[in-house]
Amino acid sequence: MKTNTKIVVENGKPFVFHSGKKISQNVYCDYILNDNKAGNDNWCQRVSEFVDSGATVFHIRVPYGFKVGSDDYYDGPFWLGDNVFSLKEEELEWSLDYQASVILERCPTATIYIKFLLAPPKIFVDKNPGEMQTDEYGKIYRQPTLSAPKYRKQLRIYLEKLLTYCEGRSWSNHIIGYLGMPIGEGITPLTINGKMFDVSASNEKNFTSWAKKKYRTLSAIRKAWGDNTLTLKSAFIPRDQEWIAKRNSLVPSVEGKKYDPSSITTNCGAPDIGAFHWVEESDAAQVRDYCRFMRDTYIDWMADIHHVADETFKNIGVKKLFGLDSLKQPQIGWQIQSSFDGIGDGQSFPSLFAFTGCWGIESLLNDSTLNVVWNPADYYARSMGFAYESEGLTDSMALRGKMAIVENDCRTYVGAGIEDQGAFRNIQEVKAGLLRNAALPFSRGLHSYWCNVGSSYFHDAKIQKFIRTLVPIQDRLQSNPHRETSDAIAFVIDDESLLYEDFTSGYQTLALIIQRIRGLSHCGVPYRMLLLSDLRLKNIPAYKTWLFPNLFNITPSVKKLLTLKVLHSGNVAIFGPATGITDGTYLNAKGATDILGVEMECLPRTSVRHVIVQDGGHPITKELPANEIFGDSMGYGPTLLPKYGAVEAAGGHALGHANTIWFQNRTGLFVKDFGRGARGSKIKGDRGKKDYSVVFSVALPLPADLLRSCARYAGSHIWCESNDVIYASDSMVCIHTSKQGAREIALPRTCKVVDAVTGKQVGTKKIKRISVKLKSPDTRIFILEK
């Protein structure tokens, strides 16, 4: 009998149901298929340890590389060559049959996810160089161009054969779903290597066709791109060095006019040259069009993969989950080389997402065939004291009743991972770290799995003893209903914003990743990672505090959306340095002036930004440390600031002074109340549709205590005042720290509190505060019952 899997929202969060039964969230994945099955530290032994520790869900993977007799890691048994496919996988030593049998012999009721690679075989790569990603120097990368027709056709055949084969195995009734692993994890290898434009023959042909369809005539293309020399035989795709040279020598436009660098006062007398970080359409039209083409291609590629899977399942007569390691929108500023390897210019590293095309993905998220997204945890911040977070989409999926899965591949003091950044160094760190990592998904309706991706991360008697402790803890958390809280800070990412930049990733890194790590994660209030497009959803929670780090273009439809979902009822909306800096075509201050209610100015300057807080008695600043300074050493422009005296003239309140460049003396942090303002304003009474407050800062990242103070002004509940990591909903709270000592956790309501680790009630009656004494490091998790 065929078994089906589906996602069901129950008690406020998405669950996996297989054959009508809810699947446990005690899940283990082991990527390393050892040659010596009977040797020490082997795959079979590690899987057995997790069975003994209580795991009942496992990942297995299609054999790869030398497991299939190849010297290429990405080769597999189902796609052997150019239009050559095979179903002899069962003959391989590490076949899916063998892996499944090992698991089911030890745990007959186990359920299984199947991991598989998405790359074509090396033979296909060698025979079809024109379809492979290619940079301007002629280097060919291992993944095909996403629009390449032969690759796309054979990819469909491969997926159909793979899924049909697996669903035909004797153990197929144990399969929950399939998790695909594209090279680059949803980002193209060409961009990860620091290159921008894929100039393969196939991509050149397809982009040219795309441009002709958009503009219809050559003269229209010439006009749009500002290139009268263009011919139909020209290379329509820009080259990296061409764009870099243009960017470095550009006399930029502001408000639709080229500004004269010599007219800008300088002490050194040398005129400024080069593009600003934000650019106008006329200065980057061809590059923007290439990124738009890549976006259309990327969405079509992703949708095609999911639709093939969906059609195959329908033909077989089953329903299974299917998803890819992709859609890392919270990492839009991700600088692979700089951040992982310590090489390269981080600030100027090309925008991986813009050139891959992974942006503006709302249509993908709303596609019913996309039901799972899975990603590793963020590699920036895994050590003790950091907040553990997924690299990819999380709350955007949960809001849609879909599954976001975090790969918990935490390195430990055993195995090759000992020197990896963030590796747990002793058993105390293992306990604090794994408890922290468990709290994240259960506080937000996500899923997770323990994962060995490169060595023996969990292959230790002390660690397995703690895993056995974690299993019942996660069972308690899974059975605990998820009740969302309106007191979380909504961190809203505009994943179309990168189109308006100079296609470097420095600002987005600062605004998204560093802002989350340094400030948002330690402000004593839980947060949620959302996309701007999520605000169109009817079930978006009524959060009180909103943070918009990269809302560059406030179109009329975006303004309407903000008015409907954010700017009302005493809420506080916090806006970053480049809010409304473009209307999509021109750089100006009109969008910022409109949304902030303060007359703003777009100064044609690149500046390094800092703010010094100046307490004038306002509720937001009165609780902050004296003379607090925040900002960063990265320079970017133009510089958006309120006109001199404009904050006071508009009835706003200056909270801090801008320390940017010599030739300005302006407010850099302010709050403006509309109507009765936020819930924390001096005006008493209920708040309605026209009552809210906005906060603007010329610098990022905002520190934790400033975010906490803004949240308090919005009326958000503050769980903790001590800059520790807080994961929380209305049904649970977790505190994680690297500093020992006593802590107080304030609860949003009086309730019965149960220690998730021991299962025992805290105190003898309902309480409003939890007092704990913490070690260094430590993690405590509490269930809040009604």
Mean pLDDT of 523-535: 98
Residue 244 lies in a domain: no
Spell out where 511-558 has E strands: 527-531, 545-548
CA dist 779 and 261 (Å) reads 55
Q: Could you read off the pLDDT of 244-275 as tens digits, one per residue?
A: 999 999 988 899 988 776 777 778 776 667 89
The mean pLDDT of 479-489, rounded to a whole number, is 96
Is the same domain home to 457 and 510?
no
With contact defined as beta carbons under 8 Å apart, do 528 and 491 qualify? Answer: yes
Domain boundary among 714, 735, 756: 714
Task: Indicate the pLDDT class of residue 1, thresholds 50, 70 and 90.
Answer: low
The proportion of the chain whose per-residue pLDDT surpasses 70, expressed as a percent, equals 98
pLDDT at 389 over 70: yes
- Dump pLDDT digits (tens) for 639-681: 999 999 999 999 999 999 999 999 899 999 999 999 999 999 9
Mean pLDDT for all residues in the chain: 94
% of the chain at pLDDT higher than 90: 87
> Do residues 81 and 49 touch, judged by C-beta distance below 8 A?
no
Q: Is residue 204 assigned to a domain?
A: no
Q: Rounded CA gap, 549 and 526, in Å? A: 17
Beta-bridge partners for 671? 653, 695
Tell me, yes or no, whether 151 and 179 share the same domain: yes
With respect to residue 268, please indicate whether it lies within any of the assigned structural domains.
Answer: no
- pLDDT given for residue 134 in this prediction: 98
Res. 34 pLDDT band, cuts 50 70 90: confident
Position 36 pLDDT exceeds 60: no
Please give the residue range of the domain that contains residue 143: 5-12+25-199+288-478
Residue 685, CB-side half-sphere exposure with 13 Å CA sphere: 8
Q: What is the pLDDT of residues 456-482, one digit of tens each?
A: 889 999 999 999 999 999 999 999 999
Cα 784 from Cα 732, distance rounded (Å): 5
Of residues 69 and 127, more confidently modeled: 127
Tokens at residue 152, please? 């796309």
How many domains is the chain built from?
Answer: 3
Give the CATH number for residue 380.
3.20.20.80
SS3 string, 425-480, reads CCHHHHHHHHHHHHHHHHHHCCEEEEEECCCCCCCCHHHHHHHHHHHHHHHHHHHC
pLDDT beyond 90 at 117: yes
Which helix or strand (DSSP H or E) is residue 354 part of?
helix 352-356
What pLDDT, on the 0 to 100 scale, is given for residue 550?
98
Give the CA dihedral 568, 570, 571, 572, nearest 10 degrees: 120
Query: Same domain, yes or no, for 462 and 611?
Result: no
Nearest to 569, CA basis, from 701, 372, 714:
714
Could you tell me if 179 and 91 lie in one domain?
yes
Q: How far is CA 675 from CA 43, 362, 561, 679, in A?
A: 63, 33, 19, 11
pLDDT of residue 455 exceeding 80, the answer is: no
**Residue 714 pLDDT > 70, yes or no?**
yes
Q: Residues 504, 638: one domain?
A: yes
Confidence of residue 416 (pLDDT cuts 50, 70, 90): low
Residue 339: C-alpha distances to residues 196, 454, 506 (Å):
18, 19, 11
Q: Is residue 94 part of a domain?
A: yes
Both 472 and 518 in one domain: the answer is no
Cis amide leading into 777 (omega within 30): yes
* pLDDT value, residue 271: 67
CB 125: neighbour CB atoms within 10 A?
22
At 339, the pLDDT band (50, 70, 90 cuts) reads confident
Whether residues 511 and 641 share a domain: the answer is yes
Is there a single domain that holds both residue 762 and residue 643?
A: no
**For position 629, what pLDDT does the model report?**
97
In three-state secondary structure terms, 646 is: helix
The C-alpha atoms of residue 463 and residue 461 are separated, in whole angstroms, by 6
- Verify that 416 and 317 share a domain, yes or no: yes
A 10 A CB-CB count for 345 gives 12
Mean pLDDT of 429-458: 94
Q: Which two tokens stand for residue 487?
A: 């007191």
Amino acid at 543: Y
* Residue 347 confidence (pLDDT) above 90: no
- Domain-terminating residue out of 662, 686, 714: 714
Does residue 87 surpass a pLDDT of 80? no
Query: How many other C-beta atoms lie within 10 A of the C-beta of residue 627?
Result: 9
Domain end (from 714, 742, 766)? 714
Enter the tokens of residue 688. Answer: 């309605």
CA dist., res. 357 & res. 370, Å (int):
18
User: 473 and 362 in one domain?
Assistant: yes
Residues 397 and 436 occupy one common structural domain:
yes
What pLDDT does 725 receive?
98
**What CATH number has the domain bearing residue 763?**
2.60.40.1180
Does residue 40 surpass a pLDDT of 70?
Answer: no
Q: For residue 255, is it within any domain?
A: no
Q: What is the DSSP string of 160-209?
A: HHHHHHHHTSTTGGGEEEEEEE-TTTTS-HHHHTT------HHHHHHHHH
CATH number reported for the structural domain that contains residue 585 in this entry: 3.40.50.880
